[in-house]
Amino acid sequence: MRGLGTVVNVLTVVGGTGVGVALGGRLPERTRTTVLQGIGLVVLAVGVQSFLDTRNAVFPIVSVAVGGLLGDALRIEDRLAQLGETLRRRFAARSSGSTFVEGFVTASLTFCIGPLTILGSIADGVRGDAELLVVKSALDGIVAIAYAASMGIGVGFSALVVAAVQGVLTLGGAGLGDVLTDRMIDELTATGGVMILGIGVRLLDIKRVPVASYLPGLVLAPVLVGLFAR
């Protein structure tokens, strides 16, 4: 059944958020910070691993740089934050604004950037094979618990973004599967790895990197490979 992987993913994010919110009030702030920073370190490691898939670092560098220019011009980071604030006012008015929005933005980026999102959605769309997305769902559910324990219910609303992004990729899976070569996927994964590193930096509270602004780079990477790779 095509789309099953995305449905499972949405449910695990929502379920993980519920568990995290329930645990959050019972855990000391120090413990929540420790867990969140541990997740941040793991996210950094995943970002490095993804970046190492590149066969030529020029492709992710150019994709991130040009993508950042486009994303900043389109104000993608601001628009994602505004969407989070709109959802907070509509559904969780009593929640802390900054915490809700940060949880929504950070979780949305974490759950939607990465090779499993792209490859899993394409496999689901082309063959109806949800295995990769089910694996991703389990990981996202665990991360959602940690995020929600520290940042609250805003994490759960990232399920809307997961549904939209993976739904579109799954619907377009047949076409993408025919167009994307292994080299394109490698450079797309490497570009995503740079953005994942940015998420880790945010989680460790080192620098608030505007990761969403670099999202156009995920589209540019395979295009550049198609134009210039030999």
Other beta carbons within 10 angstroms of residue 45's beta carbon come to: 13
Q: Are 10 and 136 in contact (CB under 8 A)?
A: no
- Comparing CA positions, the residue from 20, 3, 2, 5 lying closest to residue 141 is 20
30-34, 120-124, 158-162, 185-189: which has the highest mean pLDDT? 158-162
Number of domains, the chain? 1
Query: Domain limits at 153?
Result: 4-228
CA–CA separation, 101 and 184 (whole Å): 33
- Does residue 112 sit in helix, strand or coil? helix
- Quote the CA–CA distance of 85 and 197 in Å, as a whole number: 25
**20/8 Cα distance (integer angstroms):** 18
What mean pLDDT comes out for the span 44-61?
Answer: 93
Using the predicted structure, report yes or no on whether residue 209 has a pLDDT greater than 80: yes
Predicted confidence (pLDDT) at residue 230 exceeds the cutoff of 70: no
Judge whether residue 43 has pLDDT over 80: yes
Residue 194 predicted with pLDDT over 80: yes
Please state, for a pLDDT cut of 90, what percent of the chain lies above it: 52
pLDDT tens digits, residue range 139-150?
899 999 999 998
> For residue 27, what are the contacts with CB-CB under 8 A and spacing of at least 6?
35, 149
- Note the pTM of the prediction, 2 decimals: 0.84
Q: Is the pLDDT of residue 97 over 80?
A: no
Task: Quote the CA–CA distance of 111 and 162 in Å, as a whole number.
Answer: 7
**177 pLDDT above the threshold of 70:** no
